Amino acid sequence: MSRPVDMSSRLEHEKDHGRFLTSNGAEAVWNWDSPAGKRRAERRASFIAKELTAGRRALEIGCGTGLFTRMVASSAADIVATDLSDELLDMARQECRSPNVTFEIADAHALSYPDASFDVVFGSSILHHLEVERALQEVLRVLRPDGLMVFAEPNMVNPQIWAERNIPVVRKWAGASPDETAFVRFQLERSMKRIGFVDVNIWPHEFLHPAIPEALIPPVEKLTSLLEKLPLVREIGGSLLIRGYKAVV
Q: Which of 143, 161, 159 is nearest to 151 (CA)?
A: 143
Span of 17-31, 90-104, 174-188 with lowest mean pLDDT: 17-31
For the segment 180-191, what is each residue's pLDDT rounded down to a tens digit? 899 999 999 999
For the segment 121-150, what is each residue's pLDDT rounded down to a tens digit? 999 999 999 999 999 999 999 999 999 999
**For residue 9, is it left (φ>0), alpha (ψ between -120 and 50) or beta?**
alpha
Q: Is the pLDDT of residue 67 over 70?
A: yes
d(CA 173, CA 154): 17
Q: Which of 68, 78, 76 is nearest to 46 (CA)?
A: 68
CATH topology assigned to domain 7-246: Rossmann fold (3.40.50)
Q: Domain locations in the chain?
A: 7-246
Report yes or no on whether pTM surpasses 0.85: yes
* pLDDT value for 23: 81
Q: For the chain, give the mean pLDDT.
A: 92
Segment 144-172 shows an average pLDDT of 95
The amino acid that residue 208 corresponds to is L
Segment 48-54 shows an average pLDDT of 93
Distances (CA, A) of 198 to 126, 130, 147, 243: 21, 21, 10, 9
d(CA 240, CA 128): 11
Burial bucket for residue 214 (CB in 10 Å: 0-12, 13-18, 19+): exposed
d(CA 96, CA 214): 27
CA 11 centroid distance within chain: 17
* pLDDT value for 123: 97
Higher pLDDT, 32 or 57: 57
Write the CB contacts of 171 (distance below 8 Å, at least 6 apart in sequence).
164, 165
The secondary structure element, H or E, covering residue 241 is strand 239-246
Q: Is the pLDDT of residue 5 over 70?
A: no
Convert 43-53 to b/e letters by CB count within 10 Å (16 or more is b).
bbbebbbebbe
Q: Is the pLDDT of residue 70 over 50?
A: yes
Distances (CA, A) of 149 to 15, 32, 77, 140, 152: 24, 23, 15, 8, 10
d(CA 31, CA 29): 5
